[in-house]
Amino acid sequence: MNKEISTPIRTKEILAKYGFTFKKSLGQNFLIDSNVLTKIVDQAELTPESGAIEIGPGIGALTEQLAKRSKKVVAFEIDQRLLPILEDTLSPYPHVTVRHSDVLEANVHQVIADEFEEGQDLMVVANLPYYVTTPILMKLLEEKLPVRGIVVMIQKEVAERIAAKPGSKEYGSLSLAVQYHAVAKTALTVPKTVFVPRPNVDSAVLHLELRQKPPVDLLSEAYFFEVIRSSFGQRRKTLLNNLQNNLFSKDQKPMIEEVLAETGIDGRRRGETLSMEEFASLSNAFYKRKEIEDIS
Ligand code: SAM
């Protein structure tokens, strides 16, 4: 019986057998700690009937653990050199399918329709390549995939920004962009020592439970995010100043003040103190005026 892929000895053997060299440009930091892998997979709360979608299986350390706890695993891997390795390491798990593709280019909806049963409980679980964490997460969220949630290992600092609450220094447009789609929490922090090669930064596991419906009612989703981005333009500036500089113009100050008064939001506050509900009422109020008189 082979040892688990994630054990340092087996990982070393696999890498040596195939003469594999890491590509930093693809964010290749492989996990070599089975305790951490177990904790990641625990977070996903899979059942024997669940399906798992993995991004970047590497040599299959996490894939193997997902395969042991689910009905089917589909993994997207961009690096062609890993395909023969995965075919070898994952040969005991016929219910794993590896797709050679850049997940950012992939039609994930179609893959789900082709590979899983309708209505099947699905989770995305991955140790993400750090250079593209945010684009991958935003793609998965914005495409509104039929999945229950997402459990990903990412850079600790990014995980903290995503899960941040209003009023903290980590809170910003990324927190709101993700929390609009999901309830976010950081599940555990992970030291650099559990990877080969060791990354320069600490990592954390982020748990996202997708919302069944948006947490706020919006007249325009696109405009809501525009107001948010503008409000965080220069973090030291007040909300009024940021809105005036980044979304409107100086001569529209009276209109901005009117809308702030109408929504009960003090323009001297800073963007990072506003809750999602406050951003929603602000953007809806601006949007109503925009519809009437095209204010920006
Ligand atoms: N899952 C493995 C583990 O935990 O040991 C490897 C994780 S490693 C941090 C990231 C993996 O994502 C690598 O295998 C890399 O080749 C792959 N990858 C990088 N960019 C990708 C992309 N755009 N689409 C799919 N896979 C990608």
Give the pLDDT score at 63: 98
**Is residue 261 over pLDDT 70?**
yes
Question: Is 127 a pocket residue for ligand 1 (Cβ < 6 Å)?
Answer: yes
Instruction: Choose among 264, 261, 240: nearest CA to 252.
Output: 240
C-alpha 147/C-alpha 10 separation (Å) is 32
Cis before 191 (ω within 30) = no
Q: Which residue has the tokens 């909300």?
A: 239
**From atom 24 of ligand 1, which residue's Cα is the shortest distance away?**
102
CA distance to 25, 59, 62, 151, per residue, from 196 (Å): 15, 12, 14, 21
The answer, yes or no, to whether residue 53 has pLDDT greater than 80, is: yes
CA 77 / ligand 1 centre spacing (Å): 6
Compute the average pLDDT of residues 47-56.
98
pLDDT of residue 190 exceeding 70, the answer is yes
**Whether the predicted pLDDT of 146 surpasses 80:** yes
* Position 293 confidence tier, pLDDT thresholds 50, 70, 90: confident
Please name which of 127, 117, 112 lies closest in space to residue 41, comparing C-alpha atoms: 127
Most distant CA pair in the chain: distance in Å? 74
Q: How far is the CA of 255 from the centre of ligand 1 (A)?
A: 49
CA–CA distance, 259 with 256 (Å, rounded to integer): 5
Ligand 1 mutation pick, 18, 20, 21, 30, max ligand atoms within 8 A of CB: 30
Q: Which residue has the CA at smallest separation from atom 14 of ligand 1?
A: 58
- What are the pLDDT digits (tens) for 120-138? 999 999 999 999 999 999 9
Superfamily of domain 8-210: Vaccinia Virus protein VP39 (3.40.50.150)
Q: Do domains 8-210 and 221-293 have the same CATH topology?
A: no
In this structure, the residue with its CA closest to atom 17 of ligand 1 is 56
* Averaged pLDDT score across all residues of the chain: 96
In the chain, domain spans: 8-210, 221-293
Q: 294 falls in which pLDDT band (50, 70, 90)?
A: low
CATH number listed for the domain at residues 221-293:
1.10.8.100
Tell whether the model's pLDDT for residue 296 goes beyond 80.
no
Q: For residue 206, which of 168, 244, 249, 153 has the smallest C-alpha distance?
A: 153
CA nearest ligand 1 atom 18, residue:
56
CA of 185 to the centre of ligand 1 (A): 22
